[in-house]
Structure 1
Amino acid sequence: MASHNTFGKQGEQKAVDFLKASGYIIKALNYRYLNAEVDIIAERDGFLVIVEVKSRNKGFLEGVSDVITPKKIKLLTMAANHFVEASDLDLEVRFDVITVIKNADNYEIEHFENAFYHF
C-alpha cells in the first residue's frame, strides 16, 4: 500500500477515535455505493452523520471548499440516500468534514458540522 494510502487510513482511524470519544456510534466505514465512497457513517442525537475525512501534513492546507467538489457532494449524497433506504432509517442526515493534520508526531483534528453549508 502506498504511503499516502497508509497515511489516509491513519487519518480515518484518528477521526473514528475522535467521533467515538465525542459520543458518536459508528455505523459503517468506507461505505461504497456505485462510484461513491463515504469514509465514515455515524449516528448521534437523532442524526445520521456522513463524514468525509481529509488527512494532510502540516503545511499542505487547503480550504474545505477546495477539496470537497460539487461532484464529491453529489456522490456523497447519493451514497447517503442509498444507505438510509437500505437500512430503513428514519433519521435526519447531516454531512460533516473532519480534517486530520499531522504535525511531526502530533495530530490536529478539526470537525466541521454541516460542512456543505459553510462554503
Structure 2
Amino acid sequence: MTHNTTLGAAGEERAARHLALAGYEVLDRNWRCAEGELDIVAARGRVLAIVEVKTRTSTRYGHPLEALDDEKVRRLWRLGHAWVRAHPERARGLVMRVDAIAITGREPESARIEHLEGLR
C-alpha cells in the first residue's frame, strides 16, 4: 500500500471511532457501486449521514475540506441515494445528510479532527 492509501485508511478508522463516540451507528464503510465509493454511512436518530473523510498530514497544500467542491458534494448525494436504493430496509424512516470529516496531522490517531455536518 502507498503512504496515501495507508494514511487514508487510518483516517477513516479514526473517523468511524469519532462517529461511534458521538452516538452514530456505522452502517457501512467503503461501500462501492458502479458510480463510485462512499467512505462511511452512519445513522443517529433519524439522520442517515453519508460521510466523506479527508485525511492530510498538514494544511501545506490547503485544508482537507477544500477538496470537496460542488461537483464532489453532488456526487456524494448521488452515491448516498444509490446506497439508500440498495439498502431500503436500513434507510427506512431516515433523512439523508452529507457530512465531511477532516483529519489533519502527521499521526491520524492524535491529529485534529473536524466534523462538518450538512454539506449542500
- TM-score, normalisation: structure 2: 0.86
> Could you tell me which of 83, 95, 104 is aligned with 2:98?
95
* Partner Cα distance (2:105, 2:25) in 1: 25
* Partner Cα distance (2:26, 2:59) in 1: 30
Amino acid paired to 2:63: E
Q: Which has the higher strand share?
A: 1
For structure 1, the residue ranges without an aligned partner over 5 or more in a row are none
Post-superposition, which runs of at least 4 consecutive aligned residues in structure 1 deviate over 2 A?
58-64, 103-106
Q: Could you give the per-residue CA deviations for residues 14-43 of structure 1, whole angstroms, max 9, x where no partner exists?
A: 100100111100000011121321100000
Instruction: Report percent identity of matched pairs.
Output: 30
2:116 maps to which residue? Answer: 112
- 1:42 is paired with a residue whose SS is strand
Flag the 1:85–1:59 CA change in 2: closer, same or farther, 3 A: closer
Matches within 5 A, 1:40-119: 40-60=40-60, 61-62=62-63, 64=65, 66-88=66-88, 89-90=91-92, 91-103=94-106, 106-114=110-118, 116-117=119-120
Deviates more, 1:44-53 or 1:83-92: 83-92
How many residues are paired up? 115
For structure 2, the residue ranges without an aligned partner over 5 or more in a row are none
- TM-score, normalisation: structure 1: 0.87
* Structure 1 position 54, deviation (Å): 0.5
